Amino acid sequence: MKIGYARVSREDQNIDLQVDALTIAGCRKIYSDKISGTTTERPELDKMMKHLRVDDTLVIWRLDRLGRSMKHLLTVAENLENEGIGLCSLTEGFDTSTTGGRLVFTIFGALAEFERNLLIERTKAGLASARAKGRIGGRPKTISSGQIDNITELSKTKPVSQVCKELGVSRASYYRLLKTA
């Protein structure tokens, strides 16, 4: 029996394309998760793995829907093979029940991991470049340097709660700013 698995990374993404392709491929049951591929706990994937039986075939739309890490993909494929279950990817066009399919699986798994690592490297390089140009990510500062100076002066003469109220900062911000002043 063909069992399908579909996954998207975020709740706002649409899974219909994958489900339609799996249905056309003849999957009788389709499990789906809306969760990042890097997350190790995927409830529907776990449920599906318990449901699979000997001579079943796990059908996925694309290899990266099953997992991002080559180690994880190889572990899943090995576990499936040990249980007598095939793995078929519609987009990459392989079936691990054949020798050639196992080879293609290994190659595409390595490429998916490579692509993910490139994305991470590009993101880190972009952030470093932005920092070098003086742009810092995160939430914008709500306190000006003048207010920081005021905090040190006001803290000498007024209680903490009054200073926080006057400057519109929380107690935690007050103490953090006092350290930097």
| DSSP sequence for 140-173 | PP-S-HHHHHHHHHHHHHS-HHHHHHHHT--HHH
Amino acid at 121: E
9 is catalytic: yes
Contact 90, 60 (CB under 8 A): yes
* Cβ neighbour number for residue 89 with a 10 Å cutoff: 23
Which of the following is catalytic: 9, 69, 155, 173? 9
CA torsion sign for 60, 62, 67, 72 is positive
Contact 108, 92 (CB under 8 A): yes
Q: Structure tokens of 3?
A: 């069992």
The length of the chain, given as a count of residues: 181
Closest of 142, 149, 135 to residue 172, by C-alpha: 142
Catalytically annotated residues: 9
